[in-house]
Structure 1
Amino acid sequence: MSLAIAACGRSDGALTRIKNDGNGPDEFTVLPTAPLQAPESYGTLPPPTPGGANLVDPNPHAAGVAALGGNPAATVAGGQISASDGGLVNHANRFGVLPGVRRELAVEDAEVRRRHGRVNIFNIGPNDDYTSAYKRQWLDAREEQRRLMQRGVVTPSAPPPSN
């Protein structure tokens, strides 16, 4: 009985449960910074902002964009869309854009997981709320490949179907 009651008390909202149970350091909390260097002109430095970003603070999102050939400056909030990306952005916006789509999706996701949690309260052992809640919506890659091939859609990067 106490196990069933304990299972109902989990309401942290986390989709996956990844934690460091060992006695050693958590390698994800140690972030390397860029080496210090003197600027070309001290007059061009931004004024110090308490609690603000440092010039040598890591920005993994911008580093990923740069590694993929993009412009890391585009990751700055309020940044302008470059001319080279204008066509892509216009194509993505061709059916309109919902201004609060992230907030709306977060509310819908919380509702899906809340409904799923009420049904599956006796799930004992380690689990993944995201996988459990959305398992019915997963696509079967092989079945989708067969469906596309039957309609004549060329799928050159897909492996050959196994019969």
Structure 2
Amino acid sequence: MPRTLIILALMALTACGSRQDTSDRDTNLRQLRNASGAPEEFSIVPPKPLVAPESFSELPQPTPGGINRTDPTPLQDAVAVLGGNPARLDPQAGIGAGDQALVARASRFGRQPDIRAELAASDQAFRERRSLFNWRLVPEDTYNRIYRNQALDPYATLDAARRAGAQTPSAPPR
């Protein structure tokens, strides 16, 4: 009997040792990990080439801790390649002229300026509550496991809309 208890205790401790820390769960709900330990070829972003300006008087003043012109900016580069304006990704730029009417309409009854921080904190608390005593032998996508009970059944929603008399488009068969 004591051997069985010791083996069970060791198994329980081993299961607890494989948990992630909270900061890792925060940033990556979709865990697509390279379990082999080899370098991830898609995480390497090459630096931008150095370009000499036509006049050295055009060089910007150095900003310690700021960005460098050769720093990789993959999101902005992707937006530019797809034909968008990378400057719109800058949070300091404010709301673009094309979105002013949308923001005015959405905030006509008032809006809460710190809603993103509040939602992030409540979502973090929800995920921490859901992660207690929730480990599996076979890994599963964290996002699907945590939010499974909040997912809508599309066919039940479609049936409810049709029963209410709403005109709905056709849907693929179940």
Which residue in 2 is equivalent to 1:125?
A: 138
- Shift of the 89–68 alpha-carbon distance from structure 1 to 2, 3 Å rule, reads farther
User: CA-to-partner distance for each residue in 1:44-99, whole Å, 9 max, x for gaps?
Assistant: 33222344322233323323444555421121231132322211222333343322
Query: 2:53 matched to 1:39?
Result: yes
The count of residues paired between Structure 1 and Structure 2 equals: 160
Instruction: Give the TM-score normalised by structure 1.
Output: 0.74
Which residue in 2 is equivalent to 1:109?
A: 123
Counterpart amino acid of residue 73 in structure 2: N
Aligned counterpart in structure 2 of residue 144 of structure 1, from 137, 151, 157 = 157
Instruction: Give the TM-score normalised by structure 2.
Output: 0.71
Contact 1:33–1:56 (8 Å) recurs in 2: yes
- Cα distance in structure 2, aligned partners of 1:140 and 1:52: 47
Structure 1, unpaired ranges of 5+: none
- Cα distance in structure 2, aligned partners of 1:38 and 1:16: 41
Task: After TM superposition, list the pairs within 5 Å mapping 1:1-163 onto structure 2.
Answer: 1=8, 2-9=10-17, 10-13=19-22, 14=25, 15-22=29-36, 24-67=38-81, 69-121=83-135, 123-156=136-169, 160-162=171-173
Q: Percent identity?
A: 41
Q: CA deviation at 1:3?
A: 2.9
- Shift of the 17–160 alpha-carbon distance from structure 1 to 2, 3 Å rule, reads closer
User: CA-to-partner distance for each residue in 1:126-145, whole Å, 9 max, x for gaps?
Assistant: 13333222100001222223
Query: RCO greater where, 1 or 2, for CA within 8 Å and sep 6 or more?
Result: 1
Q: CA RMSD in A?
A: 2.9
Structure 2, unpaired ranges of 5+: 1-7
Structure showing the higher helix proportion among its residues: 2
> Which consecutive aligned stretches of 4+ in structure 1 deviate over 6 angstroms post-superposition?
none
Contact 2:79–2:86 (8 Å) recurs in 1: yes
